[in-house]
Amino acid sequence: MNLQVIYEDNHLIAVNKPAGILVQGDDTEDTPLVDYVKDYIKFRYQKPGDVFLGVVHRLDRPVSGAVIFARTSKALIRMNELFKERKVEKRYWAITENRPFPEYGHLTHYILKDQERNVSRALDQLSNRSKDAKKSDLDYELIGNLEARYLLLVKPITGRPHQIRVQLSKIGCPIVGDVKYGYSQANQDGCIYLHCRSMSFMHPVKQELITVTADAPNERMWNQMSALGE
């Protein structure tokens, strides 16, 4: 895999994850992104032995975009705190078939994850049968449309499993290609049109504001839509 590094220093490294690649290993035993990044660090810095690399957060396998890793245990602890305290501003692009109504707004649902089936449900309210559901919030706005496809800027406030996918589906705007959450047809490569465009946060060691930005995949629909998002 041709690794695209979008930020790098002694404490952190951020890469642009291609859709279809796991961030961490699972039962498939496919090579995950974390291993590719370790190999890159080992080669670039001629490091003997094992390379430390902490996974700070994840993107779903069919999703592309910015992923941050910690290169030291101190950075890992501090980045985990930033994510836990919701001090990382995340911006995603999503392409949907339907126009959202209203065209911008705030969504609050309660997301319940079925671990066995690896699928989430977005509920309007809690009940006795869904007491394990987690409150989930995001902001969205329509920023462009082309050929009956709509480009949304999504800013998740919480970080729940499949949150953006299931919340957009709940309002009648499933992401193009996302058959798990209501889209009619899968893309040939199994990927979906959801991309982590950028993340902004206070550097855990340098204490300066950092923004990492990832270009959308080099693909026809993304190429057309990306121009609308700039």
Give pLDDT tens digits for 30-88. Answer: 899 999 999 999 999 888 888 999 999 999 999 999 999 999 999 999 999 999 999 99
Give pLDDT tens digits for 11-33. Answer: 999 999 999 999 987 777 889 99
Give pLDDT tens digits for 97-127. Answer: 999 999 999 999 999 998 888 899 999 998 8
Buried b (16+ CB within 10 A) or exposed e, 114-151: eeeeeebbbbeeeeeeeeebbebbbebebbbbeeebbb
Give me the chain's average pLDDT, please.
94
pTM for the predicted model, two decimal places: 0.95
DSSP lists the bridge partners of residue 36 as: none
